[in-house]
Every structure is written in C-alpha cells, then in structure tokens.
Amino acid sequence: MLNEFYRVAFRKKVYRSTDELQADLDAWIKAAGIAGDKKGSLFRAIRKGNRLTGNPMARSDVLGMIKRRAAVAALPYSTCCHTFRATGITTYMQNGGTLEHAQQIAAHESPRTTKLYDRTQDDISLDEVERIRI
C-alpha cells in the first residue's frame, strides 16, 4: 500500500491542469480504498506494515513532504502549507471569485484573514502605474 501511495500521490510531477490532478486524486482514492469514507481525511497516517489508518497525517509529516517536493522543484525553502493556501485563494480571486466565497472555502471567520492570503494586489498593472500624474 505504501508504494502505491508514493507512486500515485507523491511522484515528482508538476500538474499542468486540474483535470490531470483530479485523475491522480481519483486514482489515489481508489488505490487507498477510501472512496466510501466521505468524512475521513484524504491523506492519512500510515502505521507499521504500510497500512493506512483512519487518522489524518500529522502536520509535521505534511510539512516535510512539502519541503521535499519544494526542494525538488527548486522552490524557495520558505514554501509551506500556507503557500498553497495563498496560491489557491489568489487564483480563485484572479478568476473572478469573490472575497466572501473565498472566505467560505478557506473556512476563515473574518474576510480580513482571507485577504491576507490574496496576492492579487502584488501584481501592479501598467494601468495602475499610469494613474500617477505629476
């Protein structure tokens, strides 16, 4: 089971589309035998004997996997779980999503928290620069 887990979920791959990612997620769910457990964690802890438990992976294990994958992809060492959260929120907002829905998706109590993850303001367009008049 552990080999299947690594083969399907954590290969050295950069996804070019959400369809490609969805196909791998579907393959992982099938291989892990967790399709019927709608409330359980997608990625679960593995116990001795390479058997999945019903428990979610520990945060430290998730961070370790992200750090290893980031190093392989030559991403900065600062890449972490929140990098993915910020990327998801920013992409959603760039594609016309609303702050209110992004807040719900991220399960934030306050829109101010969600706004901290929104990087759309990091890109200043030429139109904005041209607004400066002297």
**pLDDT tens digits along 23-81:** 988 998 998 889 998 888 888 888 888 888 889 989 898 898 889 888 988 888 999 98
* Contact between residue 29 and residue 35 where contact means Cβ atoms under 8 Å apart: yes
Cβ proximity of 81 and 69 under 8 Å: no
Q: Could you report the per-residue pLDDT of 6-21, keeping only the tens digit for each?
A: 444 445 566 777 888 8
Tokens linked to 93: 């907002």
Q: Locate the DSSP E strands across the chain.
A: 44-47, 51-56
Per the model's pLDDT, the better-predicted residue between 122 and 93 turns out to be 93
Torsion of CA 106, 107, 113, 119, to 10 degrees: 10
